[in-house]
Amino acid sequence: MEKNCSRKSRVLPLFRLLLVTLALLCLAPLALVVGVRAQSKATDPGVRPGPPAAGKFFSTLSKEQSALGPLFTQDFNNIFGVTATETGHLGLGPVYNSDECELCHSQPAAGGASTFVNQALLVYNADGATNTVPYFELSAGAMQNSRFPQQLGNLSLPDGLDHQVFTITGRADAGSCDIAQPDFSEAQSENDIEFRVPPPMFGDGLMEIIQEKDILSNQSAQCAEEASTGICGTPNYASDGSIGRFGWKAQNRSALIFVSEALTGEMGVTDEAFPNEGNETPGCVINALPEDHSNFISVPPADFPGTPERLALFVRFLAPPTPAPPNSATLNGQNQFNAVGCNICHSSPSPVQFVTPTAAISALSDQNVNIFSDLLVHHMGNCLADGVTQGAAAGDMFRTAPLWGVGQRVFFMHDGRTTDIVQAVEDHSDTYCAQGYGGSVLSGYQNSEADTVINSFNALSLTNQQDLIDFLRSL
| 187 touches 161 (CB < 8 A) | no
Residue 167, phi then psi, degrees to nearest 5: -130, 165
d(CA 243, CA 377) in angstroms, rounded, equals 11
State the pLDDT confidence band at 225, using cuts at 50, 70 and 90.
very high
The predicted structure's pLDDT at residue 34: 35
State the pLDDT confidence band at 157, using cuts at 50, 70 and 90.
very high
| 57 touches 66 (CB < 8 A) | yes
Residue 186, phi then psi, degrees to nearest 5: -65, -45
The predicted structure's pLDDT at residue 304: 76
d(CA 343, CA 336) in angstroms, rounded, equals 10
**Mean per-residue pLDDT for 63-87?**
89
| CATH node for 36-51+211-244+321-474 | 1.10.760
pLDDT at 22 over 50: no
State the pLDDT confidence band at 85, using cuts at 50, 70 and 90.
low
Three-class SS of residue 56? Answer: coil
**Mean per-residue pLDDT for 241-270?**
96
Contacts of 405 (CB under 8 A, 6+ apart): 53, 54, 112, 200, 202, 320, 321, 475
The predicted structure's pLDDT at residue 298: 64
d(CA 254, CA 252) in angstroms, rounded, equals 6
Q: How far is CA 248 from CA 47, 58, 61, 415, 424, in A?
A: 22, 25, 29, 10, 15
**Mean per-residue pLDDT for 385-406?**
96
Q: What is the pLDDT of residues 281-337, one digit of tens each?
A: 999 999 999 999 888 776 666 667 889 999 999 999 999 999 999 999 999 999 999
**Mean per-residue pLDDT for 48-61?**
97
The predicted structure's pLDDT at residue 153: 87
Q: How far is CA 123 from CA 22, 103, 132, 167, 185, in A?
A: 22, 9, 11, 10, 20
Alpha helices in 78-203 (DSSP H): 101-104, 184-189
User: CA nearest 207: which of 114, 319, 107?
Assistant: 319
How does DSSP classify residue 203? T
* Residue ranges per structural domain of the chain: 7-34+54-199+256-302, 36-51+211-244+321-474
Q: State the DSSP string of 97-127.
A: S-S-HHHHS-BSSTTSB--SS-GGGGTTTGG
Three-class SS of residue 383? Answer: helix
Lowest mean pLDDT, pick from 305-309, 352-356, 358-362:
352-356
pLDDT at 39 over 70: no
The predicted structure's pLDDT at residue 301: 66
**Mean per-residue pLDDT for 198-209?**
97
